[in-house]
Structure 1
Amino acid sequence: MDQGDFSRLSESMTEFVQSRTKLTVGPLHRPPILSKTQLGLILVLLLISAPFVAKKIFSGETFLHDPKIWLSGAVFVYFFSVSVAMHNIIRKMPMFLLDRNNPNTLIFFYQGSGMQLGAEGFTVGSLYTIVGLLLAFVTHLLVYVKNSKTKRGAMLFAIIVSFWAVQKVVFLDNWKTGYWIRG
């Protein structure tokens, strides 16, 4: 059988058997995913739970009303965007490669601007996300702190970590492309 025929398993197998043996194969019987009893049980459970679900929705107690869920979703979308994950998925980029010189080692960063591995994107995305979360911390949470020494310490920490993360991203870009930024 052709490798492409495995996508339609039962139909391609019956065609294969019919073409090789000249026998007729009866019609394929495909039972439904859910039986009538299961569908009835699901319908009864939905009808029983509908008032309770409606009460939760109207009182605003669902997980969609929780700001932490929305914050987590926003951070995930931000990370997914800056890590070039969609590009890696569409182009089917591998996370890493085997080293040709030493098959026991893995290459996570590919030098040269012609190709990017998945690990590179996730690393840069993580560094960008760290900077973004520190900026959100400084602008949204640190303003409520009363102690000035604590504010200064947190600001110094945020600046040092952000500087380190940006420095690593710039270094990785310089290493990949060969273009160096000079001050």
Structure 2
Amino acid sequence: MEVIETYFNDVKLLEPQLFQDDRGFFSESYNKKILERLGVTHTFIQDNISYSVKAGTIRGLHFQKEPKAQTKLVQVLQGAIYDVIVDLRTASPSYRQWQGYILSADNRRQLLVPKGFAHGFCTLVPETIVMYKVDEYYSPMHDSGIHWNDEQLAIPWPVKEPILSEKDRVLPKLNECEDIK
């Protein structure tokens, strides 16, 4: 497993080792011992799978507030996504800055998204399957988010008219979020 540092402290891109032969490939998607040696010490307690039928589907930007904030380990099992994170850590020098990454079944990269970040993605191809581990259970009382097309963030999403859930369509703008902790 290779770790690629990113612009943000504590956010890492992970590249699992791949063993290929004429049958296909084998890869460990998660190995606690190896990740701990690489400095990733989160205890993941749940796996979630998201399936999007069409390209241009945006999910997010989501986060959970403390004390139920979540660290996520995101990977694409089928298809490809433009994965976006926004730093919401008020004491961070990169507060309210965002970064985007391409994750795909082909590049097999995983993105470690720590607590304190909003997370969302846009599917780049139809029939995309995303799996992510979390270190805290879903809590409706702490569930929150930021509108995908927030003018302050100015994220250049790769779609003009995205497919959105009603929940994501009505998320507040960044400056309307009363308590993002």
Bigger relative contact order, structure 1 or 2 (CA pairs below 8 A, ≥6 apart): 2
Identify whether the pair has TM-score above 0.5, normalized to the shorter chain: no
Q: Would you tell me which structure has more strand in proportion to its own residues?
A: 2
TM-score (norm 2): 0.21
Q: Please tell me whether Structure 1 or Structure 2 has the larger radius of gyration of its CA atoms.
A: 1
TM-score (norm 1): 0.21
